[in-house]
Amino acid sequence: VPNHGAATKHVPELNLHGFGTRLGHRVGRFLGSIFPHNAQFQGRQVVTIHNQRDYLFVRHHRYIFQENTKKQKIENTKDLKTQARLQELGPRFTLKLRWLQEGTFDTQFGEYEW
C-alpha cells in the first residue's frame, strides 16, 4: 500500500459489514473469534471486513478526529466541525468464501453447511 502508516501493537476494533443473513451471522462470528475481544481504543485502529456477494474485503485503518478551526475568532462553538480522517495501514486483501463445514474439519466425512 503506497503511503501507508505504521501499525502499532494496539488491539484493533473490528467492524463487520454485510453479514445480515443466517450464514452471514455464522461467518461473522467465526471471523470475530480471530481477534481478541478487548479492543484498545487509544490506538485508534480498526479492521473492517465487508461482505459482498460471498467476497470478503479486508482493510486495516487508523482513524483520527480533527477539528476544523477558522483563522478568524469564532464566538459560537457550533461553527467548529469535527472530521474523521482515515489512514490505511495495510495489508488489504480479498477472500472468497467457498464453503462452510459444520463441526470439526473432516474432508472425508464432514458435513458442509454451505
pLDDT of 62 above 50: yes
Kindly report whether the global pTM for this prediction surpasses the value 0.85: no
Place of cell 454451505: 114
- Convert the pLDDT of each residue in 10-28 to its tens digit: 899 999 999 999 999 999 9
- Report helix, strand or coil for 28: helix
Average pLDDT over residues 77-106: 84
Verify cis geometry, omega within 30 degrees of 0, for the bond prior to 91: yes
Average pLDDT over residues 51-72: 84
Average pLDDT over residues 85-103: 89
CB atoms under 10 Å from CB of 58, counted, come to 14
pLDDT for the residue numbered 1? 65
pLDDT of 97 above 60: yes
pLDDT of 55 above 90: yes
pLDDT for the residue numbered 77? 58
Contact at 8 Å (CB) between 45 and 60?
yes
Q: What percent of the chain lies above the pLDDT cut of 70?
A: 89
Tell which wins on pLDDT, 95 or 69. Answer: 95
